[in-house]
Structure 1
Amino acid sequence: MRSDRNEARSALRALELRAAAEDDTARIGEIIRDARRRMRERGSDQWQNGYPAPEDIARDIRRGCGRVLCEASRIVAYAAVDFDGEPAYAHLRGTWRCPGPYVVVHRLAVAGEALGRGIAEEFLRRIAALAAARGTASFRIDTNFDNTPMLRVLRRAGFAHCGTIDYDGAERLAFEKALE
């Protein structure tokens, strides 16, 4: 059992976090479509309105916000990582715990074949380390109230629920984690 855990940790450490490139859009699109289908099958309405669209991913890449997590050079996860803030977060119904600059992640999606291996948590750990190295004080993220897999990931990763925001016409649960 301990050996299995050590192997799993070693496999996560071997993952590569890098900026997404234009050549990655087809694979990112596959991951997003698969995540959207899984949400729909769970009865969630998140991402069922065509968001995130290919234009969102292209904009992320142009702005330098798109990030991919790769395993043996195959993309297994995607997210938009933004250090410029999220305007909707200024209208939080609740209280942020850490004032000042923060990193925000949007559109986090893991490939179906990589589920259940801690990929989403590892992605968040890598982003937290990147942000902390830049001197960023906190990490903020939001999700739909019925996105139970993401809610579990956020809880395990140490994020605290801070309130709700309106994002893209829907209410979202907002979370924050202080960075060291």
Structure 2
Amino acid sequence: MNYIVRKAKIADTANIWKILQQAIQRRKNDGSNQWQDGYPNIETVETDIQKGFGYVLEIHGQIAAYAAIIFDIEHAYEIIEGNWLSSGEYVVIHRVAVSDEFAGKGIATKFFKNIEELAKSESVFSIKVDTNFDNLPMLSILDKLGYTYCGEVYFRGAARKAFEKILS
């Protein structure tokens, strides 16, 4: 499959928001309460792009997936009910979403592998991520890729499962 991962541009906002809306609906259809409270929204996407956090995975020029990749401290991760594997620099992954057209084809897994390579290219060897306890597709991806469950963190008043992977 011919694909690239690149930083999102403002011109990508509408396509990214459409993909996030599809993912929000999938979460709802799965019976999850994740992303059912007005977050993420289009302003979240615009902020991600403005701050340089937004990335897309393109297949044959079409945006297939989106994620926020943050090379900075995630304040919500400063307090964890449990223990992180490391205490140094890390990359945070938020808002992973795959378009309906590409869902179920391993795109999110490919995206994560590319994010891992991006982190290593920046000499950062830890990735931290969180997800809802009932987001079974994401929990499966994290398990398959060797992420370690570290405990719980809190976002907007709700507990989230927190994972870390040390890259080699």
| Aligned pairs, number | 168
Secondary structure of the corresponding residue to residue 140 of structure 1: strand
CA RMSD across the alignment: 0.7
Counterpart-to-counterpart distance in 2, 1:73 and 1:145: 33
Match status 1:164 vs 2:152 = yes
Counterpart-to-counterpart distance in 1, 2:106 and 2:73: 26
Check whether the contact 1:65–1:80 (CA below 8 A) recurs between aligned residues: yes
Could you tell me how far 1:82 is from its partner in structure 2?
0.2
Secondary structure of the corresponding residue to residue 55 of structure 2: strand
- Provide the residue aligned with 2:65 in structure 1: 77
Could you tell me how far 1:153 is from its partner in structure 2?
0.8
**Runs of 5+ in structure 2 lacking a partner?**
none
Give the TM-score, by structure 1 length. 0.92
Counterpart residue type for residue 27 of structure 1: N
* 1:72-96 CA distance string (max 9 Å, x none): 1100000100001200101011111
Match status 1:144 vs 2:152 = no
* 1:139-179 CA distance string (max 9 Å, x none): 00000000001100111111110000001221100000001
Counterpart-to-counterpart distance in 1, 2:158 and 2:19: 23
Counterpart-to-counterpart distance in 2, 1:147 and 1:60: 22
- Provide the residue aligned with 1:64 in structure 2: 52
- Of residues 92, 101, 110 in structure 2, which corresponds to 1:113? 101
Counterpart-to-counterpart distance in 2, 1:125 and 1:26: 25
**Runs of 5+ in structure 1 lacking a partner?**
1-10
* 1:74-129 CA distance string (max 9 Å, x none): 00000100001200101011111122000000000001110121100111110110
Q: Which runs of 4+ in 1 moved over 3 A?
A: none
Give the TM-score, by structure 2 length. 0.98
Could you tell me how far 1:65 is from its partner in structure 2?
0.5
Could you tell me how far 1:133 is from its partner in structure 2?
1.2
Counterpart-to-counterpart distance in 1, 2:100 and 2:142: 19
Counterpart-to-counterpart distance in 1, 2:157 and 2:56: 27
- Provide the residue aligned with 2:32 in structure 1: 44
Match status 1:134 vs 2:122 = yes
- Provide the residue aligned with 1:99 in structure 2: 87
